[in-house]
Amino acid sequence: MRIAVIVLFLIGSFLACESSKKSIEKSHISENTSELDTIKIENKELEYEIIIIENGFQSWLATQRSKDYYTQQTLESKNKFYVMEWNRRVMSPNRYHPDLYTMLIDYDHTVDYGMEVNYLLYMYFKFFQIKYRQRLM
């Protein structure tokens, strides 16, 4: 049975003259209610997209602390380690279930993705660990 987990985090190249710490305040966030539990965050200017498709994620997210509880720096720090461990597991399909860890996450900790992206990515990692009884840290 294939687990319906898709986390796609694509980050495009930046122009040489742009700072890698450019803030992503123009992000477009849409919650598509026609597709159950789908959250899509994208910024076409910076060529990145994150899509979270997971049953129960939105309702679980509504019960969690708001993003105002966290600092962006804290979320970035946690995401850095979660992404490293996630990617390590993707690269080890014989050791970790390949239906759970399907895609690499291209997350550059030196880029300022903004609070919303870091919050949703962090919350997805928390949700994933609870739902699938995994420990990423």
In a domain, residue 73? The reply is: yes
Identify whether 15 is part of a domain: yes
How many domains are contained in the chain? 1
The rounded percent of the chain whose pLDDT value lies above 90 is 50
Cβ contacts of 78 within 8 Å, gap of 6 or more: 122, 125
Question: Does residue 123 lie within any of the structural domains?
Answer: yes
User: pTM score > 0.75 for this model?
Assistant: no
Residue 16 falls inside a structural domain = yes
Flag whether 95 is in a domain. Answer: yes
- Cβ–Cβ < 8 Å for 51, 7: yes
What does the alpha-carbon distance between residue 61 and residue 66 come to, in Å, rounded to a whole number? 9
Structure tokens at 94: 């014989």
Residue-wise pLDDT tens digits, 70-120: 999 999 999 999 999 999 999 999 999 999 999 999 899 898 888 988 999
Residue of 103, 109, 49, 111 whose CA lies nearest to 80? 109
- Domain for residue 1, yes or no? no
Domain assignment of residue 17, given as a range: 6-132
Position 31 pLDDT exceeds 80: no
Q: Which helix (H) or strand (E) holds 36?
A: none
Q: Is residue 113 part of a domain?
A: yes
For residue 108, tell me if it sits in a domain.
yes
Mean pLDDT of the chain: 76
